[in-house]
Amino acid sequence: MRKAFFRNRRGMVGIEAAIVLIAFVIVAAAFSFMVINMGLFSTQRGKEAIQDSLQEAVSPLTVDGLILIKGKTGQGGGVSVIVIPLKTLGVKYVPMDADRTVVSFTISGSQDASYPNIYAGIDNTPIDSSTNYDGLASNVNPDEAKLFIVGSDDDYSLDATEKGYLIIKPSSTKPVERDHVIVEIRPQKGAPLSIEFTIPPQLPYDESWLAVGV
């Protein structure tokens, strides 16, 4: 009977140890799951923060081609139209309606002028093979800028599959020879696109188009 009693006690101790061990395993598993879940959450949040920082540091727009100016030399001359080709950079679309975009225009040189926002939004005038820059510029009011889009789907954004032409029409103060022009396009999200160029030292005598370097 004594031997049977000790065997029974050993069995009871074994069951208690198993119960305690199972409890420890369950607690450790729950704690491990919490740690892993918090790690994944922190990683995701860090990734989102990095992506947002990169988007804010990089402009979603870029110049896509030559900048064109139209003007003439002589008394009362100067640049009357500026055409800046644009496309998206690294994003599917960029909202470009007048409520979300700012276009500032600055002239420095023989006469200084600065306009904090001349942007009048997107003009959805259809563009085909017969459309020219003069026709587009006729839809822009003096001292304003409008965006015209090739392949537009009639929304208020510039998509990755589209090409835009920002047309600026200086009137009150026109850039003349050797003036320095700065155009800053600031979308709602992302860094602004700054464009700087100098008017050539000699504009044509008749009002015609010229390409300028950025």
As a whole number of angstroms, the distance between CA 70 and CA 206 comes to 10
Give the end of a domain, one of 36, 57, 78: 57
Which pLDDT score is estimated for 157? 92
32 shares its domain with 80: no
Which pLDDT score is estimated for 182? 95
Q: Which domain holds residue 51?
A: 1-57
pLDDT digits (tens, 9 = 90+) for 165-184: 999 999 989 999 999 999 99
53 shares its domain with 90: no
As a whole number of angstroms, the distance between CA 4 and CA 181 comes to 103
Does the pLDDT at position 50 exceed 80?
A: no
Does the pLDDT at position 54 exceed 50?
A: no
135 shares its domain with 172: yes
134 shares its domain with 174: yes
pLDDT band at residue 129 using 50, 70 and 90 as cut-offs: confident
35 shares its domain with 85: no
pLDDT band at residue 41 using 50, 70 and 90 as cut-offs: low
Long-range contacts for 141-145 (Cβ within 8 Å, ≥24 apart)?
141/169, 142/169, 142/170, 142/171, 142/172, 143/115, 143/118, 143/169, 143/170, 143/171, 143/172, 144/118, 144/119, 144/120, 144/168, 144/169, 145/103, 145/105, 145/118, 145/119, 145/120, 145/169
The structure tokens listed for 177 are 């020879």
Count up the domains in the chain and report the number: 2
pLDDT band at residue 101 using 50, 70 and 90 as cut-offs: very high
Q: Buried (b) or exposed (e) across 86-105, using 16+ Cβ within 10 A?
A: bbbbebebbbbeeebbebbb
Which pLDDT score is estimated for 44? 65
Query: Could you tell me which residues come within 8 angstroms of residue 155 by beta carbon, excluding any fewer than 6 positions away?
Result: none
Highest mean pLDDT among 25-29, 36-40, 205-209: 205-209
- Helix, strand, coil: what percent of the chain each, to 5? 30, 35, 35
Which pLDDT score is estimated for 155? 85
77 shares its domain with 37: no
As a whole number of angstroms, the distance between CA 168 and CA 150 comes to 17
Does the pLDDT at position 26 exceed 90?
A: no
Does the pLDDT at position 162 exceed 50?
A: yes
The pTM is what?
A: 0.73
